[in-house]
Amino acid sequence: MSSRVKAVTPLAIAVGVVAFLWCELALNFSFHWVTVADGVFGKFGLPENFQLVLPASFVTWGLFFLLGADGRALRNTMIAATTGSLAALFIMALGPAFARAPHFWGIALAVALAGAALVLISTAVADDSLSPAPAFVCGGTVLMWWIATGLDNYVAAGKGPHTVSALGAALTKTPLAAGTGALGGLISTAWPWVAISVWVTLLCGALLGVISGTLAQALGRLTAPSIAATKPAPQ
């Protein structure tokens, strides 16, 4: 057991360090640095249209290691992030065109078409670079953020007012609109920006996998001599 712990310790340290730094950057970016105005909701700022969607980054970070943690894995993860985000964009655009709230069959139909398309597209190449499974994961991540931010385009005014004065009125004077995103509408987002924000963050997650893997290798090389020194000399 101790040998297994020693083997993964460099990676554990690398993941911990990179995760801490990334969380600080992503959350401050969206809620303090790149905002319409800071200190709107308590001490949180009203994010701009583009945001770094922290949970999405962990999806592709994990996919990178699951797919092999090498150059091919990086390529396939980024392809999945792109095809999955495009499929989700298709769903968010076409689903509400078929049927608006409160009917869900339009979204269901768009999901069916997008899912089938991802499977068919995977046959265009002989290798697994267009595998539908990772794309499903990435597309689902975009849709999850769409739901969390107010289902804009499906729900009327789902993107929120995106102004400080209107957000303040919604929180204090008038009922929140159906579909308003979490935190009282603070992260309500227009649907194209949902796709763009999550897609960019998914790409960042793949790069975080590369960074943490490279750092782990460097730490492994640094600790290897000290580990070797603790081993008994051959008789």
Q: What is the pLDDT of residue 156?
A: 84
- Taken in order 81, 140, 199, 59, is the CA torsion positive or negative? negative
**In this predicted model, what pLDDT tens digit does every residue of 163-172 receive, in sequence order?**
777 666 666 5
pLDDT score recorded for residue 40: 78
* C-beta of residue 164 within 8 angstroms of C-beta of residue 40: yes
- pLDDT tens readout for residues 114-155: 999 999 999 999 999 999 999 999 999 999 999 999 899 998
Looking at per-residue pLDDT, the higher value among 233 and 159 belongs to: 159
pLDDT value, residue 210: 97
List pLDDT tens digits, range 201-221. Answer: 999 999 999 999 999 999 988
- pLDDT band per the 50, 70, 90 thresholds, residue 182: low
pLDDT at 180 over 80: no
pLDDT of the residue at 130: 95
Q: Are 64 and 58 in contact (CB under 8 A)?
A: no
Q: What is the pLDDT of residue 224?
A: 67
**Nearest partner of 211 among 114, 69, 108, 101, judged by Cα:** 69
- Per-residue confidence (pLDDT) for residue 172, from 0 to 100: 57
* Candidate ranges 89-98, 153-162, 226-235; pick with highest mean pLDDT: 89-98
pLDDT band (50, 70, 90) for residue 88: very high
Please report the pLDDT score of residue 226 as a whole number. Answer: 52
Residue the block writes with tokens 């712990």: 5
Cα separation, 77 vs 208, whole angstroms:
12
| pLDDT at residue 235 is higher than 60 | no
List the one residue out of 152, 226, 148 whose CA is nearest residue 193. Answer: 152
Q: Residue 119 CA to chain centroid, in angstroms?
A: 22
Cα angle 41, 43, 46 (rounded to 5 degrees) comes to: 45
**pLDDT greater than 70 at residue 96:** yes
80, HSE (Cβ side, Cα atoms, 13 Å): 31
Overall pTM surpassing 0.85 (yes/no): yes
Mean pLDDT of the chain: 89
**Residue 162 is encoded by which pair of tokens?**
């995106």
d(CA 40, CA 124): 49
pLDDT at position 159 is 85
* Residue-wise pLDDT tens digits, 50-65: 999 999 999 999 999 9
Q: If you search the block for the tokens 């385009």, which residue do you land on?
A: 153
Tell me the C-alpha to C-alpha distance, in Å, between residue 142 and each of 4, 65, 148, 155.
36, 20, 10, 17
Q: Given this model, what pLDDT does residue 137 score?
A: 98
Q: Give SS3 for 136.
A: helix
* Average pLDDT rounded to a whole number, residues 89-117: 96
